[in-house]
Amino acid sequence: MARLWLMLLAALLTAAGSDAAGIGFEFHHRFSDRVRQWAEDRAIPGAWWPQKGTAEYYAALAHHDRALRGRSLADASASELTFADGNATFLLSSLGFLHYAVVELGTPNVTFLVALDTGSDLFWVPCDCQQCASTHLQGIELSVYSPSNSSTSQKVPCSNSLCDNQNACTGTNGSCPYNVQYLSANTSSSGFLVEDVLYLTTEDATPRIVEAPIVFGCGDRQSGAFLDGAAPNGLFGLGMEKVAVPSILSSKGFTSNSFSMCFGEDGVGRINFGDKGSSDQQETAFFIDSRHPSYKINMTGIAVGNSSTDMVFDAIVDSGTSFTSLADPMYTYIAENFNAQIKEKRYKSESNSTFEYCYELSPGQTSVLLPVINLKTLGGSVFPVNDPIISVLGPANQTLYCLALLKFSGVNLIGQNFLSGLRVVFDRERLVLGWKKFDCYTVDNTAALSTPTSSPSNAVAPVPSSYTQEMTKTDPNAAQVPARSPPSNYSPHSKAMSNLSPVVLLMLSLALLW
Ligand SMILES: *[C@@H]1O[C@H](CO)[C@@H](O)[C@H](O)[C@H]1NC(C)=O
Ligand SMILES: *[C@@H]1O[C@H](CO)[C@@H](O)[C@H](O)[C@H]1NC(C)=O
Ligand SMILES: *[C@@H]1O[C@H](CO)[C@@H](O)[C@H](O)[C@H]1NC(C)=O
Ligand SMILES: *[C@@H]1O[C@H](CO)[C@@H](O)[C@H](O)[C@H]1NC(C)=O
Ligand SMILES: *[C@@H]1O[C@H](CO)[C@@H](O)[C@H](O)[C@H]1NC(C)=O
Ligand SMILES: *[C@@H]1O[C@H](CO)[C@@H](O)[C@H](O)[C@H]1NC(C)=O
Ligand SMILES: *[C@@H]1O[C@H](CO)[C@@H](O)[C@H](O)[C@H]1NC(C)=O
Ligand SMILES: *[C@@H]1O[C@H](CO)[C@@H](O)[C@H](O)[C@H]1NC(C)=O
Ligand SMILES: *[C@@H]1O[C@H](CO)[C@@H](O)[C@H](O)[C@H]1NC(C)=O
């Protein structure tokens, strides 16, 4: 039995303008192109992506191509796979602040926009729906899976070793039922397991489609957060249990038993199955509880700018958690030391606000200096928190930024926001978590010389956000500000505005129970 965690902000489905029905997509575009475009447009912060046809677009393409070739030359034995639709992931603020990827399943293939969750195991998609989220998503019609419509779909009988719920096998058809309960707020997915083809592609110079038969949930009944904005088109469990897709891919010999994700600070990320990381990455061992195997790591200390302390705690690395949540004393240590080193005026938020520590920017301000936050992991490696803040629009339309950290008395969760700017490797073979600073775009140069740490500004990825671009129009020098050398305990930061306005940020903590 696994009890794993997913935290998300539901109720964020913003009525973003162009919901008007009938906005036609040109029909020569494949469905997945439309979904990807939709996702790219909504990746936060800044919804930044070069427009097709512009010089920037082609420059970016060329850059990617170079990176692709560089990578395959550097690593001839690459057997890494990613989704056939590409390795890109998208942080979607309107869908619970989780990272999503576009996946194709079945024959003929059907495309889904699924949330990536290292905190749970089962991959499920809406299927032969009795109770599913709306399939209308701001102009996109989301798919529903149907076993009877796919010629490669197969039953997973109760006798299958992936069927954990055999006592519930009462149906005469012998399909293995599943029921995943995510803790609190009545959030669940249920249905039965099916086997079908997941389309992947090799990541070398001559990409080749790989059809991997995988087991996933035909989710005919969802409840709670899944009907309310989060993962409306399926949840891609990336956990340690044998039913999780990375486990299936390695047990069937498609990839090594490892995968990586990179969540870029521009909201666009990457996922690679089989990626075992590099020799120069930082690492710490997973702390495995055999009853509930999860990506739990042990910490030994915290540093916030000019102060640091020893503190022993464990935390689960959970990409299905929107914002990192820590119990006390960790929460208070980080929050108070952060607060003590911030120059901006504290914004006294309403008691119903999600984040306790928020600050008001002065008009025209486009960047802030933040104390550098590092977590020290067992074994001595330092886990840098590259993006601890979120910018929000205050009630009077003022620009605020908040420490995007929640106090939570349950298990400590390192959420997607603390993973950004890193290539995070979930090496399940060696049972270690690896990480390395990475902008998610350039080729990983394993042989890179270690650069002196005197210039923390190189930690910041380019910030081509719509907000800074907009501000740059009125103040052409504004974008230069972060380039100046800040004091070494600080990192310069500028962030895009996301229109969170006065929205109820509904926090749900969820557990998986077979
Ligand atoms: C992602 O895919 C692109 C090609 O679509 C490739 O150029 C790039 O190197 C890949 N990135 C990573 C981190 O694998
Ligand atoms: C999915 O189907 C479309 C349309 O038939 C096809 O163009 C595409 O290549 C298929 N995708 C894969 C990964 O086979
Ligand atoms: C299955 O195929 C039928 C016939 O083409 C179609 O009417 C139905 O909508 C499909 N079901 C799903 C869930 O896509
Ligand atoms: C198998 O039976 C269960 C309940 O008896 C039903 O919910 C499910 O849809 C059936 N599965 C298939 C593949 O027919
Ligand atoms: C969960 O469901 C129960 C019964 O269906 C209901 O009484 C309760 O209010 C629900 N809780 C939440 C948080 O929605
Ligand atoms: C990690 O922490 C857990 C409990 O927090 C503890 O039981 C375990 O021994 C720790 N692991 C190591 C290697 O210290
Ligand atoms: C840390 O920095 C803050 C703000 O810059 C300052 O008030 C405080 O005295 C410093 N603390 C130490 C221990 O240097
Ligand atoms: C905030 O801005 C929106 C749109 O720009 C406007 O409709 C609203 O009245 C403003 N609210 C306040 C309190 O100024
Ligand atoms: C939060 O509280 C304030 C006043 O206390 C209220 O005006 C506002 O609507 C509340 N926001 C939400 C999202 O409930």
Q: Is 128 a catalytic residue?
A: no
Ligand 5, from 8, 131, 184, 186: best to mutate by most atoms within 8 Å of Cβ? Answer: 186
Atom 6 (ligand 8): residue with closest C-alpha?
Answer: 397
- Max distance between CA atoms of the chain, in angstroms, equals 71
Amino acid at 469: Q
26 lines ligand 9 (CB under 6 A): no
- Predicted TM-score (pTM) of the model is 0.80
Q: Is the dihedral of CA 84, 87, 90, 95 positive or negative?
A: positive
Which residue ranges does the chain devote to CATH 2.40.70.10? 58-276+484-513, 282-418+455-473
> How much distance in Å is there from the Cα of 149 to the middle of ligand 3?
6
pLDDT of residue 352: 65
Give residues with Cβ within 8 angstroms of 148, minimum separation 6: none
pLDDT digits (tens, 9 = 90+) for 223-265: 988 998 889 999 999 999 999 999 999 999 999 999 999 999 8
pLDDT of residue 472: 22
Return d(Cα 72, Cα 52) in angstroms, integer. 26
* Ligand 2 atom index nearest CA of 199: 13
C-beta separation of 282 from 436 below 8 A: yes
Tokens of 309: 């302390």
Cα Rg for the chain, rounded, in angstroms?
22
78 lines ligand 1 (CB under 6 A): no
pLDDT of residue 269: 93
Phi, psi of 193 (to 5 degrees): -80, 145
**Residues in the chain with pLDDT < 50?**
1-28, 45-78, 184, 444-486, 495-514
User: 155 vs 116, 146, 166, CA distance in Å?
Assistant: 25, 12, 14
Q: Can you name the CATH fold of 282-418+455-473?
A: Cathepsin D, subunit A; domain 1 (2.40.70)
> How much distance in Å is there from the Cα of 422 to the middle of ligand 6?
25
pLDDT of residue 501: 26
Q: What number of H helices and E strands is found in the chain?
A: 5, 32
> How much distance in Å is there from the Cα of 241 to the middle of ligand 4?
24
Ligand 6 is surrounded, with C-beta below 6 A, by 287, 298, 314, 378
Give the DSSP H/E element, type plus range, for residue 190.
strand 187-202
Q: Can you name the CATH fold of 58-276+484-513?
A: Cathepsin D, subunit A; domain 1 (2.40.70)
151 lines ligand 3 (CB under 6 A): no
307 lines ligand 7 (CB under 6 A): yes
pLDDT of residue 398: 82
* Ligand 3 atom index nearest CA of 143: 14
Q: Is 117 a catalytic residue?
A: yes
Amino acid at 361: L
135 lines ligand 3 (CB under 6 A): no
